[in-house]
Amino acid sequence: MELKGQVALVTGSTAGIGRETARVLARAGAEVVVTGRDAGRGAETVREIEEEGGVARFVEADMGDLDAVRRLATEVGEVDILVNNAGVYPFAPTVEQTVEDYDLMFDVNVRALFFLTAALAPGMVAKGSGSIVNISTMVTAVGIPGAAVYGATKAAVESLTRTWAVEFKGVRVNTVSPGPVITDTVLAMNPGVAEQVGKATLLGRVAQPAEIAEAVLFLASPRASYVTGQNLVVDGGHNII
């Protein structure tokens, strides 16, 4: 129970990587705050965690709404671990990209992460400890058609990681960059694309959300006590091909 006594906030944790991350952190002893827009899925995630012997609560929050982000920070209060996982990715070719989806991706993937961290990091700095893990993507290092805006938002996240590692003294700030992962959202969008990219990795398959969650746990835990400002790529070896 290496995270016993710690509070962890995981954004976008009612499905996919976020949900598995919340479960993994709870198994490690953290009290987890689950967030998302869907109260039903939030309650289900909390129930799963509690059935496994963990402690969790749900706070509804739409990360595309800056006021909701600020309310989330106020309601949660001090945390020891912040996992900025919430993200959207309505892919489109550059010439077909709508302004609405462009704004949505920057609002959720960058603006929300920025101001939530700005609200919660000072508490960590005051304690002289804490871990922030931002979720990026392999798309920042690999050109994927239709992912121009999504990749740009995540490149911004990786830049923020490096800056925050310098700014927030005593707080470790790192990034996890997943490769192709099978989640409900991916299955609903275009599962064939993920499977195709997965076959192109050195391991020849897609990842399961729990495999990404274990990487987050490592960076959030004392096992990574001397790791900060880094990007842990979990992509099956895709980016070295």
Angle, CA of 209, 212 and 217, to the nearest 5°: 120
Q: Please give the Cα distance from 216 to 22 (Å, whole number).
A: 10
Active-site choice (89, 102, 150, 226): 150
**Please, which residues bridge with residue 131 across strands?**
81, 172
Q: Which residue has the tokens 């994927």?
A: 144
Tokens found for residue 213: 């969650």
Tokens found for residue 50: 């509690």
CA dihedral 147, 87, 158, 149 (to 10 degrees): 30
Q: Are 207 and 183 in contact (CB under 8 A)?
A: no
Residue 150 annotated to the active site: yes
Q: Among 12, 15, 17, which Cα is nearest to 206's?
A: 17
| 47 residue type, one letter | R
Burial grade of 109 (CB within 10 A; 0-12, 13-18, 19 or more): buried
Tokens found for residue 182: 């099978």
Residues labelled catalytic: 150
